[in-house]
Structure 1
Amino acid sequence: MAPLQPDDGHDLCPSCLGLEHLREGLSENPCMNCGIMPQAVRAARLAEAEHLTGMVDLSLSGQLDPAQPTRSKRRATETAGAPPKRAKPSGLSSRVDLLTSELAQMKSLLLALQPRVGGG
Structure 2
Amino acid sequence: LGDLYKMQVYALAEIFNQRATSNNQIPPVNKSTMTKPPSAELAPNQKDEDSLPPYEVLDEILRLHIEHTMDADDIVAAGYDRSVVVDVLSRLERNEHKRWQMSPAPRVTSKAFGQGWRRPLASRHDWRD
Q: Which has more radius of gyration? A: 1
Structure possessing the higher relative contact order (Cα contacts under 8 Å, 6 or more residues apart): 2
Q: When the two structures are superposed, what TM-score results if normalisation uses the length of structure 2?
A: 0.27
Q: When the two structures are superposed, what TM-score results if normalisation uses the length of structure 1?
A: 0.29
